[in-house]
Amino acid sequence: MIAGEKMKKTVLLYNFTEERLQGVKRALVPLKALAKAVPHEQFGCKLGFLVGEDGFDGSADGYEPFVDELLVMYGFDSGDIDMLIRSLRKYGVGRVELKAVVTPTNINWNGSELYFAVKADHEEMKKLREQKNNGQ
């Protein structure tokens, strides 16, 4: 990336149906962000490659397939994330359970690695919420 160049906001979408994919694309218009549906054969590609960062090749080795939806944001700040969540509701997509932001650490992960980390965090938060709601 050239110094001072603004990175393109991108959302990687894993396992979205065509209908939900179209809704996400509509929701991204106000954010001027690109939606990229990741095909199964690219689930093993590094996030850096998928978002177009330099220094990543397109190899897709050693990944575990998954079937849940995963939405991965790149180049988003907290205001963008809030706007996207509201926009997803407005355009009929509703809630996407598993969401992540590309970070300096996970940019080197593939979609499968990110999915299993996010899924574990999601399950832990769900368990803590249930305990709190049950007065434990």
Using an 8 Å Cβ cutoff, are 54 and 32 in contact? no
Mean pLDDT of the chain: 92
Q: According to the model, what pLDDT value does residue 2 have? A: 39
Instruction: Decide: helix, strand or coil at residue 85.
Output: helix
Q: According to the model, what pLDDT value does residue 61 have? A: 79
The residues spanned by each domain of the chain are 10-133
Q: According to the model, what pLDDT value does residue 133 have? A: 87
Sheet holding 99-101, edge to edge: 34-38, 10-14, 70-74, 99-101
How many helices (H) and strands (E) the chain has is answered by 4, 4
Instruction: Decide: helix, strand or coil at residue 10.
Output: strand
Cα distance between residue 53 and residue 94, in whole Å: 30
Q: According to the model, what pLDDT value does residue 71 have? A: 98
Cα distance between residue 57 and residue 54, in whole Å: 9
